[in-house]
Structure 1
Amino acid sequence: MMTHQVEDCTESRELMFGRNAEAVSRPRRPVGVESRSEQVLTTKVGLHIPVGLAFEEWERAGRQLSGLLNSSSWWLGDWLVYGKDHYADRYELGIRAAGLQYQTLRNYAWVSRRFDLDRRRSALSFQHHAELASLRADEQEIWLDRAERMKWSTKQLRNAIRAQREGTQQQTDAAAATRRLAVPDNRLQWWHKAAAQAGTELGEWVMATLDAAADQVLKETDRQLTHE
Structure 2
Amino acid sequence: MPPQIPLDEWSRIGHKIFVISESSTWWLGDWLIYGQSHYPDRYLHAVAETSLDYQTLRNYAWVARRYPASRRRAGLSFQHHAELASLPEDQQDKWLDRAEKFGWSRNELRNRLKASRNASPIEGAEGEAVQSLEVNVPADQKRLWAEAASTTKQDLVSWIMDILDDAAASTPRLTQGEHRDPTAEDRARRN
TM-score in same-fold range (> 0.5)? yes
Alpha-carbon offset, residue 101 of structure 1: 2.2
Aligned residue among 75, 78, 82 for 1:126: 78
Aligned residue among 69, 72, 75 for 1:117: 69
CA distance in 2 between partners of 1:96 and 1:146 (Å): 35
Classify the secondary structure of the residue corresponding to 1:77. helix
CA distance in 1 between partners of 2:122 and 2:4 (Å): 57
CA distance in 2 between partners of 1:96 and 1:158 (Å): 29
Q: What root-mean-square deviation, in Å, do the aligned CA atoms of Structure 1 and Structure 2 show?
A: 2.0
Alpha-carbon offset, residue 95 of structure 1: 1.6
- The amino acid of 2:45's aligned partner reads G
Residue 92, structure 1, aligned to residue 37, structure 2? no
Alpha-carbon offset, residue 116 of structure 1: 0.7
The number of residue pairs the alignment matches comes to 124
CA distance in 2 between partners of 1:153 and 1:92 (Å): 31
Aligned residue among 143, 146, 150 for 2:95: 143
Deviations 1:60-94 (A, max 9, x none): 1111111111100000011111111221x242342
Residue 154, structure 1, aligned to residue 132, structure 2? no
Residue 54, structure 1, aligned to residue 21, structure 2? no
- The amino acid of 2:21's aligned partner reads L
- The amino acid of 2:31's aligned partner reads W
1:74 maps to which residue?
A: 26
* 5+ long unaligned stretches in structure 1: 1-48, 176-228
Rate the CA distance shift 1:166–1:90 in 2: closer, same or farther, 3 A.
closer
Instruction: Considering fraction of residues, name the structure with more strand.
Output: 1
CA distance in 1 between partners of 2:119 and 2:43 (Å): 44
* 5+ long unaligned stretches in structure 2: 124-128, 133-191
After TM superposition, the structure 1 = structure 2 runs for residues 1-228 of structure 1, keeping only pairs within 5 Å, are: 49-87=1-39, 89-98=40-49, 99-169=51-121
Classify the secondary structure of the residue corresponding to 1:52. coil
CA distance in 2 between partners of 1:160 and 1:96 (Å): 34
Identity %: 51
Normalised to the residue count of structure 1, the TM-score between the two structures is: 0.51
Rate the CA distance shift 1:81–1:170 in 2: closer, same or farther, 3 A.
same
- The amino acid of 1:125's aligned partner reads S
CA distance in 2 between partners of 1:92 and 1:125 (Å): 24
- The amino acid of 1:106's aligned partner reads R
Normalised to the residue count of structure 2, the TM-score between the two structures is: 0.60
